[in-house]
A and B are shown apart, each in its own frame.
Chain A
Amino acid sequence: QSALTQSASVSGSPGQSITISCTGTSNDIGNYDLVSWYQHHPPGAPKLIIYRVTNRPSGVSNRFSGSKSGNTASLTISGLQAEDEANYYCASYTSINTLVFGGGTKLTVL
């Protein structure tokens, strides 16, 4: 099972919006609405910010939103803040009953 494809890095200025894409195949993202997104500020614990493509856990800012089209899922962060600077990972359920993560995207807030 190959990792989902994410761009290695993205940047934006405070107040701007950015979108991180996550591309898989018909064996994962394309066939299941079971995409989640995680924010990771190393060396801490990763944090779930989006589940089932579009849903936010309680306590997660509504500046985070998710979507999906075909084999590609996307995470949009609006109104960028300095604290958003982190690594972001997508993940999807797969047809072989496993989970697969993306390679991760490092967000820099300029």
Chain B
Amino acid sequence: QVQLVESGGGVVQPGRSLRLSCAASGFIFSSDGMHWVRQAPGKGLEWVAFTSYDGSNENYVDSVKGRFTISRDNSKNTLYLQMNSLRIEDTALYFCAKGRGEYDRYEMDAWGKGTTVTVSS
């Protein structure tokens, strides 16, 4: 079955960088768009970024534009989120999620359990 396992979270100071990874299995990774979604402590879900199946198209929420970059390596079945210039408000549990078929840009049919990023001085 579909498995998504995030890693790379940790504690980092404001202004520093971190790269998250999401290892995918159980489906044809190179066929589906992928998302990052985050949940700040005590808050709801917030969509962060999307990449198309081949990495040619990316979209971001305004609050991370210019700081975060979503990418993928289809040869390794892995999704990434490069996070630069981190801010305290980026503290959250980060989920990787698989887009659903031809509507992969609009809905997510499988999720990982997340990796925690804490930005603190």
Which residues of A does B touch, CB under 8 Å? 1, 3, 34, 36, 38, 40, 43-48, 51-52, 57, 87, 89, 91, 93, 97-104
Could you mark each residue 92-121 of chain B with 1 if its beta carbon is under 8 Å from any beta carbon of chain A, else 0? 000101001001011111111110000000
Q: How distant is the Cα of A72 from the Cα of B61 in the complex, in angstroms?
A: 22
* Chain A residues whose CB sits within 8 angstroms of the CB of B27 once the complex forms: none
Nearest 5 A-B pairs (CB), nearest first?
A: A104-B44, A45-B111, A99-B47, A36-B107, A34-B106
Using A45-B95, A46-B95 as known contacts, say yes or no to A98 and B107 having CB atoms under 8 A apart.
Answer: no
Main SS at interface, chain B: strand
Are B45 and A44 closer than 8 Å at their CB atoms? no
Are B113 and A45 closer than 8 Å at their CB atoms? yes
Chain A min CB distance to B65 (Å): 10
